[in-house]
Structure 1
Amino acid sequence: MKIIAYIDKVLQIIYDYIIIISGSIVTILIMTGAFMRYILKTDFYGSEEIILIFGYWLYFIGSISASRSKTHLNADMVSIFTQNPRIISIKEIIKDLLSLAICCVAIKWCYDYWSWTIALKPRTSVHKIPYYFQQFPMCLAFFMWGFYLIRDCVTSFLDLKNIDTKVSIEIFKGRNA
């Protein structure tokens, strides 16, 4: 387990660097484009292509980081209506399994899209950058989302098992009191 925790920590450091670097590049490119257009009265031709690539990396690596830390937006209404840990745990299992099923479909679509793009070899119109540079972070994000969802499913099942064990111990203690 220590090796998995170490790999996870290293991956988060890599995500953080990619997010910082790509966010900085997007900011610098937008500011440079605005400076060139409004101050120098010239155009930064093709800047949108470069911004789009780094924007994809920023967005999708950010989503990986959110999946890892379970900080995606959610609308958890069950915990408002009940404090029963077993019901909340079952809800978590259902949520994680549904999310994993959706993620598997998204991974399949990404694979199909990636394969189609590789076969066609499309490029951006100005700088002739292959499209797969901007599509790779999307595929990586769904793959890593699936990895973290598997982790979440296992954790949810273990949490339910621990709740059931605690209830069994409490019932046993109650009978022997």
Structure 2
Amino acid sequence: MRVFKLLDWLLERVVGAIAAVAGLLVALGFVVGITARSILGIALFGVEELILLAVVWFYMLGAILASKQRAHLQADFIPVVVKNETVIIVVRLVATAISIVLAGLFVMWSNELLQWALARGQSTPVFSIPIYFAQASLLTAAIFMTLYLVRDLIDDIQALRHRQENKTLAQR
């Protein structure tokens, strides 16, 4: 679990700061673009592609932070329907295991997309920023989300063990 503590520290300091800067750049880009076009009558070429790159990274960094906090959107109706804590933990464990498989596929696909972008050598039209810069955000998010899902799976297994141990002790 030391690895996750280090990742948490890095995410809080580095990823959070980068996400904040990316969010500010997106807002500033929109303000500058709209002001230039609407008020000044000037078309600023390339602002949209800079905004797009910042938005992609902002969104993927947000996904990493949501994974860290286990704060993704969930349709978790099981605790409403079922009152047995063990069943709830088992369902959460199964959902986490399925999520790990899907995140692993996401890692594979985003890696293939990045490799394809590297091989093609495409870039944005105005500033010639390599397309792989944006696509690297997908792979980065997929890797971190997978790592945090593994952490969540370990937590779920430990919660189930703890629940079963408490149940065994209560029966004695």
Aligned to 1:59: 59
Rounded to whole Å, the distance in 1 between the matches of 2:137 and 2:122 is 17
What amino acid is the match of 1:29? Answer: G
Taking the aligned partners of 2:59 and 2:3, their CA distance within structure 1 comes to: 28
The CA distance in 2 between the partners of 1:134 and 1:33, in whole Å, is 21
Query: C-alpha displacement at 1:26, in angstroms?
Result: 0.7
The structure-2 alpha-carbon separation of the partners of 1:106 and 1:36, relative to structure 1 and needing over 3 Å to count, comes to same
Q: Percent identity?
A: 26
Q: Deviations over 1:77-100 (max 9, x none)?
A: 110011211101101110100000
Greater Rg over alpha carbons, structure: 1
Give structure 1 regions of 4+ aligned residues with deviation exceeding 3 angstroms.
1-4
Give matches, 1:21-170, under 5 Å.
21-170=21-170
Distance in 2, matches of 1:5 and 1:145, equals 15
Structure 2 counterpart of 1:152, one-letter code: D
Distance in 2 separating the partners of 1:3 and 1:35: 46
Cα distance between partner residues in 2 of 1:131 and 1:42 = 26
What amino acid does structure 2 have at the position aligned with 1:136? A
Aligned-residue Cα RMSD (Å) equals: 1.2
Q: Following TM superposition, by how much is the alpha carbon of 1:3 offset from its aligned partner in structure 2, in angstroms?
A: 6.3
The answer on 1:12 being equivalent to 2:12 is yes
Tell me, yes or no, if the aligned pair for 2:11 and 2:65 is still in contact at 8 Å: no
Paired residue type of 1:109: W
**Equivalences, count:** 172
